[in-house]
Amino acid sequence: MGAARATRPLVEIRRACRDDMPQLCALLAELFAQEADFTPDVERQRCGLALILDNPDLGRVYCATESDVVIGMVTTLFTISTAEGGLVAWLEDMVVHPDWRRRSIGAHLLNRALAEARMAGCTRITLLTDNDNRQAMRLYARAGFVRSAMVPFRLSLRSESIGGPPPVPLWSEEHSSEGPA
């Protein structure tokens, strides 16, 4: 008889559910602690996850689990692109717990998100990553993502962050007597 072989833990990639929320929030805290543009806020993350989990037409949350412990996650959000003439997706919240990195879990999460976006009829998927996250950029490049010539801009619409000049009106009466469409 041969020596006993060490078995690798079975990692499952599945749709997340509300029961996963505390573990998903912990992963988002890990992610937002390392991202330049965001800070962890458990209540905001919980609210955002609830909106997605309760409204699958808006998007999906996928998680990687090992023995019912969530060790990674990714989110896809759906929108319409006039350039594509149909449904497209945004890929967000891609994170694997530090103890589980470098085991292809991120690649498996990404592949599931891409496959599900295709099955939902999406014709394109877009993501943002930090400029210094070389490991993530390599993962996305291996999956076929290419850098876009588009430059992201962000404006918070939360009342506590609004300042500066007044907004430019989106519609004026001089354009039409019927008002905005």
- DSSP state at residue 20: G
- φ, ψ dihedrals at 81, nearest 5°: -115, 125
Q: What share of the chain in percent tops pLDDT 70?
A: 83
CA 137 to chain centre: 15
pLDDT of 167: 59
DSSP H/E element including 41: none
pLDDT of 7: 58
Rounded to whole angstroms, how far apart are CA atoms 75 and 139? 16
Per-residue model confidence as pLDDT tens digits over 103-138: 999 999 999 999 999 999 999 999 999 888 899 999
> Tokens representing 59?
């998007």
Smallest CA-to-CA distance from 74 within 162, 139, 10 is with 139
Per-residue model confidence as pLDDT tens digits over 147-166: 999 988 888 887 765 555 55
pLDDT of 174: 55
Per-residue model confidence as pLDDT tens digits over 57-105: 999 999 999 999 999 999 999 999 999 999 999 999 999 999 999 899 9
pLDDT of 117: 97
Q: Domains in the chain, ordered, with CATH?
A: 11-145 (3.40.630.30)
* Residue 32 pLDDT level (bands cut at 50, 70, 90): very high
The pTM score is 0.81
Distances (CA, A) of 114 to 122, 154, 165: 9, 25, 40
